[in-house]
Amino acid sequence: MTVAAPGSVSAPARDDVLHALDDVRDPELDEAVTALGFVASCEVSGSTAEVHLRLPTYFCAPNFAFLMVADAHDAVSAVPGVDRAVIVLDDHFAADAINAGVAARAGFVGTFGDEAGGELDGLRADFVRKAVLAGTDRVCRPLLAQGHDVLSLRFGDVPPSPELDRLRARRGELGLAADDSAPLLVDVVTGEPVSRRDERVHLGRARLARVSIEANTGICRGMLAHRYATTEEGTQ
């Protein structure tokens, strides 16, 4: 980062913009667009940052694509020193509409009109709930293997790990308690503790969510690599 004069904001560096994009996730896969290789390029000129995004197929769902482009715009715009964020989705059948709609801050309905069927808050929440279930499985599997009664555990009882931090963050996005005193197993809709009667079903759903996300992630990585003839992850 360039050192700024007193009272001014330094020009953003490319690394600052990429770091901001680490917080932008594919809503279905719950992985950063940077880690998935969805960032095709990132360039900074003065106070303008231009980012090009690419997806595994030409026909990726437009609602998913819109969320990623809009989230990328918000993330890059928030980088200190960025006065203009240009986020461009490439090689997608709805790219022109999405790029224009995000640039105009028109929202999904304002971009697609009657075809939209509503804004995407509900869809986003559904995917975060699925991410919470998948994260629950990732945290609970080693505990179960060690013989722990996970139903009785609270966050503060679980050894620190990146997976636990990730689960805390996703629960927080849903407004569900994730402090040390919060139960590890909760209903992802109501936030109520899971009962002993429902424990097995809940853990089964958590495992299914994890397997589904991991399988889809593998498929998307393979399709992206095939489409762009590369096995490299990250920005090109």
pLDDT digits (tens, 9 = 90+) for 181-218: 999 999 999 999 999 999 999 999 999 999 999 999 99
- Where along the chain do the CATH 3.30.300.130 domains lie? 14-118
Query: Is the pLDDT assigned to residue 230 strictly greater than 80?
Result: no
Query: Is the pLDDT assigned to residue 3 strictly greater than 90?
Result: no
List all residues 6 or more positions away from 60 whose beta carbon is below 8 Å from its beta carbon.
92
Averaged pLDDT for residues 29-44: 98
List C-alpha distances in Å: 68 to 52, 65, 108, 172, 216.
Answer: 11, 5, 12, 20, 17
DSSP 157: G
Reported pTM: 0.90
Residue 1 pLDDT: 46
Residue 2 pLDDT: 46
Please report which confidence band the pLDDT of residue 9 belongs to, taking 50, 70 and 90 as the band edges.
Answer: low
45-77, pLDDT tens digit by residue? 999 999 999 999 999 999 999 999 999 999 999
Averaged pLDDT for residues 138-156: 98
* Range with lowest mean pLDDT among 7-21, 47-61, 76-90, 137-151: 7-21
Query: Is the pLDDT assigned to residue 26 strictly greater than 80?
Result: yes
Which residue carries 């991991």 as its tokens?
214
Please report which confidence band the pLDDT of residue 25 belongs to, taking 50, 70 and 90 as the band edges.
Answer: very high
Of residues 232 and 15, more confidence is placed in 15
Do 47 and 83 form a contact (C-beta atoms < 8 A)? yes
87-142, pLDDT tens digit by residue? 999 999 999 999 999 999 999 999 999 999 899 999 999 999 999 999 999 999 99
Residue 106 pLDDT: 97
CATH 3.30.300.130 given to domain 14-118: yes
Please report which confidence band the pLDDT of residue 10 belongs to, taking 50, 70 and 90 as the band edges.
Answer: confident
Query: Is the pLDDT assigned to residue 234 strictly greater than 70?
Result: no
CA 139-142-145 angle, 5° bins? 140
Which residue, 96, 100, 116, 26, is CA-closest to 108? 116
